[in-house]
Amino acid sequence: MSGRFKPVHAGSALASGAAVPATPRDVPYHGGAMNPAVETLRARFPGAVRRADVVWGETTIIVDRNQVHDVIRWLHDDQTQRYDYLSDVTAVEYRDLERPIEVVWHLRSLPFRRFLRVKALIEKGSSMEVPSVWDIYKSADWLERECYDMFGITFAGHPDLRRLLMWEQYKEGFPLRKDFPLRGRFSRSEQLRQALAANPEARYSKDELSIADAFEELPADMRRRLGAGERTGE
């Protein structure tokens, strides 16, 4: 085990003697105890929290999209919050085309055993850009790439915003958007032609994390080829 990682024990930051949170029972659909972070956030970032709801015992806050990065940075850094685990970044588009697209961050505080869902609204017709939280949570890397791949949301500040699930040359658009036809935009033969045109081995570059870590252990000729900016297999 590398010494760079310090284990985090769930609930370790709770005051001694405090009731250990257990799986809640009889949770109401709406209402109930709100996450204590919301009150602090309202005081600290006036106007940033537009709405806060408790649904099935989980708190959702809707945050001004320009302040999302500051809010999440504070939730991560503050010693009374310690939201140290980003479990998901995704987006929601509703069938009601008037409703804005929501970008959702699922934050979890392991030391305090708390959960908070942060949302930002993208009004229809406005820019699809929201700030990236990659500089706060490294796990946001592929989550944001997937969200970009499926919804076309650009995360400003992401170091390497490319498609993740679809191949990089995919031209048909963003599959999980409501205006995307289920079978895709092109005919089946055209889809197959474009897919077969891809080089199955040209997937990895030196910059990709797994290769970059093992770079020194690669064979000499591969080191030379990758060092010259070549992609493997081409």
Partner 1 sequence: MGLSPRPEPNLTEISGDEPWITTKLDAFVNWGRKNSLWPMPFGTACCAIEFMATAASKYDIARFGMERQAFSPRQADLLICAGRVPFKLAPVLRRIWQQMPQPKWCISMGACASTGGMFDNYAVVQGIDSIIPVDVYVPGCPPRPEGLLYGILMLQKKIMNERSSDKSLRSEMEPDPTTQLYIPPSVIDEVSEPFGNSIHQTRSGL
Selected from 27, 192, 209, 212, the binder of partner 1 by CB under 8 A is 192
The reply on whether position 210 binds partner 1 by CB under 8 A is: no
**Helix locations, the chain, DSSP H:** 37-44, 68-77, 140-151, 188-196, 209-213, 220-227
198 or 212: CB nearest partner 1: 198
Nearest to 177 by CA among 103, 101, 98: 101
Longest dimension (CA), the chain: 66
The reply on whether position 234 binds partner 1 by CB under 8 A is: no
Kindly tell me the sign of the dihedral angle through the C-alpha atoms of 207, 208, 212, 217: negative
The reply on whether position 175 binds partner 1 by CB under 8 A is: yes
The reply on whether position 87 binds partner 1 by CB under 8 A is: no
Instruction: State in angstroms the smallest separation of the CB of 172 from partner 1.
Output: 7
Q: Give the dihedral of Cα atoms 56, 137, 100, 127; nearest 10 deg.
A: 170
The reply on whether position 11 binds partner 1 by CB under 8 A is: no
4 or 183: CB nearest partner 1: 183
Stretch that binds partner 1, among 91-99, 110-118, 179-187, 222-230 (CB under 8 A): 179-187
Residue 40 backbone phi and psi in degrees, to 5? -60, -40
Instruction: Give dist(CA 26, CA 15) in Å, integer.
Output: 25
Selected from 200, 210, 220, 234, the binder of partner 1 by CB under 8 A is 200
Residues of this chain that interact with partner 1 (CB under 8 A) are 165-167, 172, 175, 180-184, 187-200
